[in-house]
Amino acid sequence: MTAYMGVLGAMVFVPWCQNPVFFLAACWLSFLNAVVIHNHMHQGIFHSRALNKAWRCVLSFGALYPASSNIPAHNLVHHHFEDDGQPDWADSSHVSFRWNLLNLLHFPNVAGPNTFAGLKRWMATTHQPGFGRQLAFELVFAFGLTLALMMWDFWATLFFVVLPQVYGARCILRINLIQHDRTDIASEWNHSRNFVGRAFNWVMCNNGYHTIHHNRAGLHWSELARAHEREVVPRMDSSLDERSMLGYLLRTYGLGLRRPVPRDVAAAEREAQTREQTLELASREQRRAEAEAAAALEAAPV
């Protein structure tokens, strides 16, 4: 976050920093800013509530949207998929182009409006004034600081601050599509795609381990890698572990023109569970029959 704020400030106030290298760095760091929002809204960085609320304002400026909107949109809605009878505002089924790359490019145009429309409905029905005030603080800080920078240098701020801000916010929405598209959200262990490369997760604060994050959302991000190996790997479809996100993106959206076929592993899991229960029942009945036969043999007169 320090690097991101420093790069944005340099591009506004130092003319020779207004170049493609700084701009690309700002876009990448903006995406990581959105990752930090995700982690922070699951577990606050500070013990102090006041510091956590202030930090949300800083993060909101970095993404140009209120960080607290993650609470209903991500924590309360997305993490439940459709288990609670309510649609996921960022469900991958919201896009349906046959050319798969278009789904990746267009997804934020659908998920973004869905999310903010859902946020308005949620605020109207839950009536949480404290949340509304915090959301207003974040909006005022994010857009107020951006407007102040525009008053200093409109074009530099527009190209070198606003574009990176928007880029990060849109890319974090695309992660929903990448991690869930064509998985089976009805499955307990196969609802998410994981990217398990060590370098990738070092940069991404372990956000590649997505299955365990959904199943144990309160687990701190630093524990996700070990929990993934311990709890997820023995139970999941191994094809949902990807070593490289770049390789997956190239294979799925670059070289693969058509969208993959949806998975239905939940049905297979239910069948396997039924078979296990049937075998266990048969084994139990066999043991009972053997025990009864042995008891009858012992009771028989010599």
Backbone angles phi, psi at 128, to 5 degrees: -115, 90
User: Domain range spanning residue 32?
Assistant: 2-181
Query: Which pair of tokens denotes residue 237?
Result: 């479809």
H or E stretch covering 195: strand 194-195
Residue 249 is assigned to a structural domain of this protein: yes
250 and 176 in a single domain? The answer is no
pLDDT reported for residue 159: 96
What average pLDDT score do residues 201-209 get?
Answer: 93
218 and 282 in a single domain? The answer is no
If one compares 123 and 86, the residue with the highest pLDDT of the two is 123
Query: What are the pLDDT digits (tens) for 171-200?
Result: 999 999 999 998 888 888 999 999 999 999
Query: What are the pLDDT digits (tens) for 48-85?
Result: 999 999 999 999 999 999 999 998 888 888 887 766 56
Question: Is the Cβ–Cβ distance between 77 and 118 less than 8 Å?
Answer: yes
Single out the residue in 156, 181, 206 at which a domain terminates: 181
pLDDT reported for residue 124: 87
Query: Which pair of tokens denotes residue 245?
Result: 């996100």
177 and 233 in a single domain? The answer is no
* Whether the predicted pLDDT of 279 surpasses 90: no
Domain count of the fold of the chain: 3
164 and 28 in a single domain? The answer is yes
pLDDT class for 140, splitting at 50, 70, 90? very high
74 and 221 in a single domain? The answer is no
Query: What are the pLDDT digits (tens) for 214-270?
Result: 999 889 999 999 999 999 999 999 999 999 999 999 999 988 778 877 776 666 566
Single out the residue in 181, 202, 220 at which a domain terminates: 181
Percent of the chain with pLDDT over 70: 85
109 and 245 in a single domain? The answer is no
pLDDT class for 273, splitting at 50, 70, 90? low
123 and 270 in a single domain? The answer is no
pLDDT reported for residue 92: 87
44 and 142 in a single domain? The answer is yes
pLDDT reported for residue 125: 87
User: Interhelix angle for 163-180 vs 49-63, to 10°?
Assistant: 100
pLDDT reported for residue 260: 79
Backbone angles phi, psi at 219, to 5 degrees: -75, 130
174 and 254 in a single domain? The answer is no
Question: Is the Cβ–Cβ distance between 195 and 245 less than 8 Å?
Answer: yes
- The 10 Å Cβ neighbour count of residue 83 is 10
What average pLDDT score do residues 107-112 get?
Answer: 93
298 and 224 in a single domain? The answer is no
- The 10 Å Cβ neighbour count of residue 259 is 20
Residue 186 is assigned to a structural domain of this protein: no
* Whether the predicted pLDDT of 299 surpasses 60: no
296 and 280 in a single domain? The answer is yes
**Distance between CA atoms of residues 129 and 299, nearest Å:** 76
Amino acid type, 3:
A
- 3-state secondary structure at position 250: helix
- 3-state secondary structure at position 61: helix
299 and 154 in a single domain? The answer is no
Single out the residue in 181, 201, 227 at which a domain terminates: 181
- 3-state secondary structure at position 194: strand
pLDDT reported for residue 259: 83
Average pLDDT over all residues of the chain: 88
Query: Which pair of tokens denotes residue 28?
Result: 């990448």
Query: Which pair of tokens denotes residue 248?
Result: 């997956």
